[in-house]
C-alpha cells in the first residue's frame, strides 16, 4: 500500500493507494464503496477520457480496477476536500456518496443535513472554483407519492427528511453557476461481494433462504432499478456531459410485494413465505411516498439508456451469485 500526500496537510486523512498516469483529466467519484459506487467501478467504460480518483470514507471494500486511484477521506472534512480539489483540479465530479437510509436520516437530522446538504454545498463551491462538471445522484423520495411514472418535469415535494435533504441538494446544484446533471433513481437492487448495506433483493433472498416469513408492502409503486443499469446510465450522462435532470431507473412499475414474488420465482425460493401488507400497517420511521416510479423516456431517447427487464435483471443477479458461489 502506498501512502501518498499531495500536500502535507491531508497526509494523515487521505490515502492514495494506487498511483496511475495522471495525464488525463481527473474524474472524482465519491461513494465508491457504495452499491452504485462499486457498480460504477465494475462498469468503467473503456472509452472514458478521464483518470478516475475514487473516494470513500472506509478503506476500499473490493479490489479496484488497476487504473483507478483510491482516496480514503471523509467528505465532511472540508479543508481536506479543498486541498484535494486544489491539487487534482477535477474536470468532472460524480457525487454518489450520501447518507442514504431514510429512517436514519429522520432520526439523525443534523447528520443527514451535513452529509446530504453541507457536503454538496462545499463540493459545488469547489466545482465552481475549478470549473468541474458536476453530477449529483438523487432519488424518487424528492416526490410526495401522489403520482407515478414521474418525469423530469414533475415538481418535487418531499415528505420525509431524507427526501428534503436530497431536494435541497438538487436546488444547490441547480443554483450554482456550474455545468451540472442530476440523476434521479428509484429502489436500486443488486448483488455485491461486500455490500455497503442491504437492498430489497438481498433482504428477500436472505429471509426466504432462512425460511423466515416476510411482510412486504403491496400498496407502494416503484420502478425497481438494477444497480448495473444505473451505473451504465450514469456513465452515459458522464460521457455525453448531458446537462439537466435525468430519470435513470427500471421501466416496470410494481410494488415491493410484486418484486419479492418475482425474486422468489427466479431464485426458486418459497413464495408462500411472502405476505402482502400495506404502508399503514408496515410502520417505518420515515414516511415513504406511496406512488413513485420513473418515466425514463428522456434518457432512453437522448442517451440511449436501456433498462433491463426485471426478470432478466434478476436472472443476471442469480447468475452472479451462482458464479461466485456467494453467500447472501
Ligand X SMILES: NC(=O)c1ccc[n+]([C@@H]2O[C@H](COP(=O)([O-])OP(=O)(O)OC[C@H]3O[C@@H](n4cnc5c(N)ncnc54)[C@H](OP(=O)(O)O)[C@@H]3O)[C@@H](O)[C@H]2O)c1
- Give least dist CB 87 to ligand X, A: 17
For residue 52, the SS3 value is: strand
Q: Which is nearer to ligand X, 37 or 303 (CB)?
A: 37
Q: Which is nearer to ligand X, 24 or 176 (CB)?
A: 176
| Dist. CA 102–CA 131, nearest whole Å | 32
- Give least dist CB 272 to ligand X, A: 27
| Dist. CA 192–CA 30, nearest whole Å | 18
Cell of 134: 458536476
| Dist. CA 263–CA 109, nearest whole Å | 34
| Dist. CA 139–CA 249, nearest whole Å | 10
Q: Which is nearer to ligand X, 37 or 250 (CB)?
A: 37
- φ/ψ of 277, rounded to 5, equals -135, 180
- Give least dist CB 15 to ligand X, A: 12
- Give least dist CB 73 to ligand X, A: 6
- Give least dist CB 29 to ligand X, A: 11
For residue 136, the SS3 value is: strand
Q: Which is nearer to ligand X, 21 or 310 (CB)?
A: 310
Q: Which is nearer to ligand X, 271 or 285 (CB)?
A: 285
| Dist. CA 228–CA 114, nearest whole Å | 28
Q: Residue 222 carries which DSSP code?
A: B
Which residues sit opposite 13 in a β-bridge? none
* 68-72 and 92-95 beta bridge pairing: unpaired
- Give least dist CB 211 to ligand X, A: 26
Q: Which is nearer to ligand X, 273 or 320 (CB)?
A: 320
Which residues sit opposite 254 in a β-bridge? 222
SS3 content of the chain, % helix, strand, coil (to 5): 40, 20, 45
Q: Which is nearer to ligand X, 112 or 274 (CB)?
A: 112
Residue nearest to ligand X (CB): 34
What does the binding site for ligand X look like in residue numbers (CB under 6 A)? Answer: 31, 33-37, 55-58, 74-76, 96-98, 100, 115, 137, 139, 166, 185-188, 196-197
Q: Is 140 exposed, middle or buried (0-12, 13-18, 19+ CB in 10 A)?
A: buried
- CB of 151 closer than 8 Å to CB of 196: no
- Give least dist CB 285 to ligand X, A: 17
- Give least dist CB 270 to ligand X, A: 25
Q: Which is nearer to ligand X, 273 or 279 (CB)?
A: 279
Cell of 171: 436546488
| Dist. CA 172–CA 164, nearest whole Å | 12
Amino acid at each position: 500500500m502506498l501512502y501518498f500526500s499531495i500536500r502535507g496537510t491531508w497526509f494523515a486523512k487521505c490515502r492514495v493507494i494506487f498511483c496511475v498516469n495522471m495525464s488525463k483529466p481527473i474524474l472524482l467519484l465519491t461513494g465508491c464503496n457504495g452499491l452504485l459506487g462499486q457498480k460504477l467501478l465494475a462498469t468503467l467504460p473503456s472509452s472514458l477520457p478521464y483518470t478516475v480518483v475514487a473516494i470513500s470514507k472506509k478503506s476500499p471494500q473490493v479490489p479496484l480496477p488497476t487504473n483507478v486511484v483510491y482516496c480514503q477521506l471523509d467528505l465532511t472534512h472540508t479543508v481536506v476536500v479543498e486541498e484535494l480539489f486544489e491539487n487534482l483540479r477535477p474536470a468532472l465530479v460524480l457525487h454518489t456518496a450520501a447518507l442514504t437510509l431514510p429512517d436514519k436520516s429522520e432520526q439523525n437530522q443534523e447528520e443527514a443535513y451535513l452529509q446530504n446538504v453541507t457536503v454538496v454545498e462545499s463540493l459545488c463551491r469547489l466545482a465552481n472554483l475549478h470549473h468541474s462538471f458536476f453530477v449529483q445522484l438523487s432519488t424518487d423520495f424528492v416526490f410526495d407519492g401522489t403520482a407515478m411514472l414521474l418525469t423530469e418535469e414533475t415538481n418535487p415535494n418531499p415528505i420525509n427528511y431524507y427526501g428534503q435533504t436530497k431536494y435541497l441538494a438538487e436546488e444547490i446544484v441547480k443554483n450554482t453557476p456550474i455545468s451540472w446533471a442530476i440523476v434521479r433513481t428509484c429502489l436500486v437492487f443488486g448483488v455485491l461481494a461486500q455490500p455497503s448495506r442491504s437492498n430489497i433483493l438481498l433482504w428477500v433472498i436472505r429471509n426466504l433462504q432462512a425460511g423466515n416469513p416476510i411482510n412486504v408492502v403491496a400498496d407502494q409503486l416503484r420502478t425497481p432499478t438494477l444497480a448495473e443499469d444505473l451505473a451504465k446510465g450514469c456513465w452515459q450522462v458522464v460521457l455525453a456531459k448531458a446537462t439537466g435532470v435525468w430519470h435513470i431507473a427500471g421501466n416496470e412499475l410494481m410494488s415491493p410485494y410484486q418484486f419479492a414474488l418475482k425474486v422468489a420465482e427466479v431464485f426458486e425460493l418459497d413464495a408462500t413465505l411472502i405476505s402482502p401488507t400495506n404502508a399503514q400497517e408496515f410502520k417505518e420511521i420515515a414516511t415513504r411516498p406511496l406512488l413513485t416510479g420513473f418515466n425514463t423516456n428522456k434518457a432512453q431517447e437522448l442517451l440511449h439508456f436501456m433498462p433491463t427487464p426485471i426478470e432478466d435483471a434478476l436472472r443476471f443477479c442469480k447468475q452472479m451469485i451462482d458464479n461466485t458461489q456467494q453467500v447472501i
